[in-house]
Amino acid sequence: MGLFVRNLLWTILCPGTVTLLLPWLILSETQGDAIIWRRFQWSGILLIGTGACLLSWCIYAFARQGRGTLSPLDPARRLVITGLYRYVRNPMYVGVMVILTGEALFFESWALSAYAGLVFLVFNLFIRLHEEPYLRRQFGEEYEMYCKQVGRWLPGKPYQL
């Protein structure tokens, strides 16, 4: 299966489930009234669009530079430390969190806000317990130097290649 098809599949399965399917299921249980367009909806749309752009950019970088996908089962073969990854170690997760925050604002949903908080907790645990140890084993000193210069969640000074 080609890299493009694998990325499309994993994009639908991973962020598609987290940002579309599960919020839809939550809203189908909790959302009763029709949306009345207010400033929260516009802010939400802006955040959803921004998060989708971040996520798309990262998926492209994983395919183009890393020669892999966003899935832990089909990871990048090379360490991706350019583009958005020069500023923050986890821009893909940041993109998903921006999308979820936008959805919570758009639908004015406390249930989606709580869900976003839970997703953030799960992301943190996964990154710290699985992803970072894997990347340390896989890329060694190169990853260690990267971690010393670039924050896990908050953008900062660009990584010096």
- The pLDDT tens digits for 94-113 are 999 999 999 999 999 999 99
Residue length of the chain: 161
Structure-token pair, residue 78: 């090379």
Distances (CA, A) of 7 to 11, 79, 118: 6, 17, 25
Q: Which of 53, 63, 45, 153 is nearest to 95 (CA)?
A: 53
* Contact predicate 155/90, CB 8 Å: no
pLDDT band at 34 (very low <50, low <70, confident <90, very high): low
pTM assigned to the model = 0.90
For residue 33, the model assigns a pLDDT of 62
Is the pLDDT assigned to residue 32 strictly greater than 70? no
On average, the pLDDT of the chain sits at: 90
User: Which of 33-42, 44-53, 81-90, 115-124 is the least confident region?
Assistant: 33-42
Q: Specify the higher pLDDT residue, 75 or 92.
A: 92
Percent of all residues in the chain with a pLDDT value above 90, rounded to a whole number? 63
For residue 86, the model assigns a pLDDT of 95
For the segment 30-51, the average pLDDT, to the nearest whole number, is 82
